[in-house]
Structure 1
Amino acid sequence: MSAHADSRARVTLATLAAKRSAREPIVMVTAYDHPSAQIVEAAGVDVVLVGDSAAMTVLGYDSTVPVTIDEMLMLTTAVRRGLRSPLLVGDLPFGSYEASDEIAIATAQRFVKEAGCDLVKIERGGTTVDRARALVQAGVPVVGHVGLTPQTATALGGYRAQGRTAEAALTVIDDALALQAAGCSMLVVEAVPSEVTAALMPLLDIPVIGIGAGADADGQVLVFHDLLGLYDGGAAKFVKRYADLRAAAITGVEAYVAEVRAGVYPAAEHGYGMPTGEAARLVELLAER
């Protein structure tokens, strides 16, 4: 943990509101385990999302849909142990909140009590607005998510931008306004034209985090594995890679493989020795047997 991270004040919803008022960009990034949490903490981000994108980036599923509550809780708890300053948002996975308010509340309470989440995130408008309202009334802060919602990407025609016509843009805006009216503390807007975000911003009072939604949002979020080049899957148009750690990791492991096979590793400096006389004593003890 860096000295910078140790000195940072704890980020709160009031912190984010102040940043929004001051037009100071909010930085959100995903993390899925203790080491990645420590990295984003040290880097000074404001908000950490344990996204259900972990299904693909960490657990190897083909989409976000299969990931379970228990899998998400395990990952989120590990992230919580690595954070001090940022707000922690936990993604409620597909099938864990849609059926009823009671199920949604029970799931969200587990993320707060067991994993230490500050907020939970749910996707879509429609009936999700009712779930958001119920969660807020139960005392759980909620992050809404509109535009491209990966849990229902199949129904939306795949992983593609939403709101590209005026009518479709109105649907995105209406969903956002409904989620704000339901009491959401924050909103993620994903893969919509920048013009839609620009039209939406004056209508909202809560922080808006964009991902592929242009520069007008209050902040931005990217997936940890995408921005660091760790994920081998296809990257969306909005992803900017700030490092290529996958290539560096492969190079490192290849060097290790080569040295082991060549008998170069381990060298003497990588091992342990016995105190003077103990090796000879061991030989004597073995001989006595």
Structure 2
Amino acid sequence: MSVHKEIKKITTHTLLKMKAAGEKISMITAYDFSFARLFDEAGIDVVLVGDSASNVMAGHETTVPITLEQMIYHAQCVVRGINRSLVVVDMPFGSYQSNSDVALASAIRIMKESGAHSIKLEGGEEVVESIRRIVSAGIPVMGHLGLTPQSIYKFGTYNVRAKEEAEAAKLKKDALLLEEAGSYAIVLEKIPASLAQEVSRSLTIPTIGIGAGAGCDGQVLVMHDMLGINNTFKPRFLRQYLNLQEQIHAAVTQYISDVKSGDFPSEKESY
């Protein structure tokens, strides 16, 4: 009789327990089945179907153009590759900002049509009512404060946020409001490490940082940046673990050369 080892799935509750135990949370973005499966098998805690798909998959300059339908498609692909990780889907720009009715309808569509486990949305006080409604419908919500890329046209820059006292005070207040509204975690993007640590300590829910220092309860990176598929984006906070751009270029040029020279396919590679 074969012993089937049960896979312990990561849930929103797992993340709360990890924070309480002081265990750091690992999170990475994915947009398709193949990479999702690789990351899940490697043991990543959380897979984020990021609206960064707008940049890295669709070639847009910002995250603004990607649609709800496109995000659902990417989420469906990712979910099929997951056995264990928690899957979070970004609600794209325009799918929740107008009012809480629209926000709830969008969140329900993502959950029903993709099979993902939770949604993420950007903003503080202005989205609290939407978070309450989404959570009360039984959908877990991850928040996102600091640099909120969907508001890039408002900021006009991707620079570090909340360096000034007023913005830092608002961020601290927003974090508590998001927790109170029922969020189970908050991404903190590009804010001073000391502020991120202070916010993380003030909350019972975990924080996940990107360019927010080591004081957060977890970290997230975009897969294309971390794997070196995209070598043009080199912010200070990024640690590149591979240089796939170079390796892929070398492999493809070798393949082209082998085809042109008649070296590929060999007799062994033919039927």
Distance 2:105 2:126 in 1: 17
For residues 164-222 of structure 1, what are the alpha-carbon distances to aligned partners after superposition, in whole Å with 9 as ceiling and x for unaligned?
12222111111111111111111100000001012212211111111111111110011
Look up the match of 1:126: 125
Alignment of 1:207-222 (within 5 A): 207-222=206-221
Quick check: 241-250 or 149-158, which moved more? 149-158
Cα RMSD (Å) of the superposition?
1.2
Is 2:205 the partner of 1:206? yes
Higher Rg of the two aligned structures: 1
Look up the match of 1:30: 29
Alignment of 1:176-195 (within 5 A): 176-195=175-194
1:233 CA displacement? 3.5
Alignment-mate amino acid for residue 101 of structure 1? S
Alignment of 1:221-240 (within 5 A): 221-240=220-239
Look up the match of 1:63: 62
1:7 CA displacement? 5.7
Look up the match of 2:136: 137
Is 2:100 the partner of 1:101? yes
TM-score (norm 2): 0.95
Please list every run of at least 4 consecutive aligned residues from structure 1 whose deviation after the TM superposition is greater than 4 angstroms: none
1:232 CA displacement? 4.0
Alignment-mate amino acid for residue 141 of structure 2? V
Alignment-mate amino acid for residue 98 of structure 1? Q
Is 2:91 the partner of 1:86? no
Alignment of 1:4-43 (within 5 A): 8-43=7-42
Distance 1:236 1:142 in 2: 28
Look up the match of 2:168: 169
- State the secondary structure of the residue aligned to 2:264: coil
For residues 56-88 of structure 1, what are the alpha-carbon distances to aligned partners after superposition, in whole Å with 9 as ceiling and x for unaligned?
111111110001111111111000000010111
TM-score (norm 1): 0.90
- State the secondary structure of the residue aligned to 2:48: strand
Distance 2:127 2:113 in 1: 23
1:119 CA displacement? 0.8
- State the secondary structure of the residue aligned to 1:242: coil
For residues 68-113 of structure 1, what are the alpha-carbon distances to aligned partners after superposition, in whole Å with 9 as ceiling and x for unaligned?
1111111110000000101110000000111111111111011111
Asked whether the 8 Å contact 2:16–2:184 carries over to 1, the reply is no
Alignment-mate amino acid for residue 49 of structure 1? L
Look up the match of 1:280: none
Alignment-mate amino acid for residue 213 of structure 1? A
- State the secondary structure of the residue aligned to 2:220: strand
Aligned length, in residue pairs: 267
Unpaired segments of 5 or more residues in structure 1? 1-5, 273-289
Distance 2:174 2:243 in 1: 36
Alignment-mate amino acid for residue 73 of structure 1? I
Look up the match of 2:156: 157
Alignment-mate amino acid for residue 48 of structure 1? V
Distance 2:6 2:63 in 1: 36
Alignment-mate amino acid for residue 241 of structure 1? Q
1:34 CA displacement? 0.5
Alignment-mate amino acid for residue 166 of structure 1? E
